Amino acid sequence: MKVKKGFNLREVCGEHIIVAEGDENIDFSNIISMNESSAYLWEEVQKMDSFTIDTLVDLICNEYEIDKDTARKDASMLAAQWGTAGIIEGDDIPEDDSTPDKEEASKVANDTLNNTETKEEKPKKKSFFKRLFG
């Protein structure tokens, strides 16, 4: 997998948002918002020529207190969501079985983002995440 050219992470009013830059990527019908955890992963994979689920698992485990099985599940879900959103490309993008419709996905992502924000108050380490992107 690799990040599609022209999609960059920006912070706008305290929110992490993927911005499509360039005429071929302009589509204002969908705003891609990320929590702190998914934004961290996006910044890291943007530096790479390509990445895999294993790459995401390693990044997650190095940054967060999380076991590899949970990290793999979360990484697969995130990659599938990024693939569905059209911001990554490749033959090895997992299918997104986690979100039956956009309304439900948005609700789950917002609930998870709110839960993640309250956990981030701990000074020790950043909290792990269930949903990474909404």
- Give per-residue pLDDT as tens, 31-73: 788 999 999 999 999 999 999 999 999 999 999 999 999 999 9
One-letter amino acid at 13 equals: C
Residue 125 lies in a domain: no
**pLDDT tens, 10-39?**
898 989 998 887 665 555 556 788 999 999
Count CA within 13 A, CB hemisphere, residue 85.
Answer: 28
Phi–psi pair at 124, nearest 5 degrees = -60, -65
> Quick one: pLDDT band at residue 97, thresholds 50, 70, 90?
confident
86 within domain boundaries: yes
**Amino acid letter, residue 87:** I
Number of helices and strands in the chain (H, E): 4, 5
CB–CB of 93/9 below 8 Å? no
Specify the pLDDT at position 8: 86
Please give the residue range of the domain that contains residue 39. 2-119
Q: pTM of the predicted model, to two decimals?
A: 0.68
Whether 19 maps to a domain, the answer reads: yes
Mean per-residue pLDDT of the chain: 78
20 part of a folded domain:
yes
In a domain? residue 134: no
Considering its fold, how many domains does the chain have in total? 1
- Strands ordered across the beta sheet of 7-12: 7-12, 15-20, 32-34
Answer yes or no: is 129 within a domain.
Answer: no
The secondary element (H helix, E strand) that includes residue 34 is strand 32-34
Token reading at 56: 């995401």
Q: Is residue 90 part of a domain?
A: yes
Domain assignment present for 41? yes
Do residues 87 and 32 touch, judged by C-beta distance below 8 A?
yes
Q: 64 burial class (0-12, 13-18, 19+ CB within 10 angstroms)?
A: middle
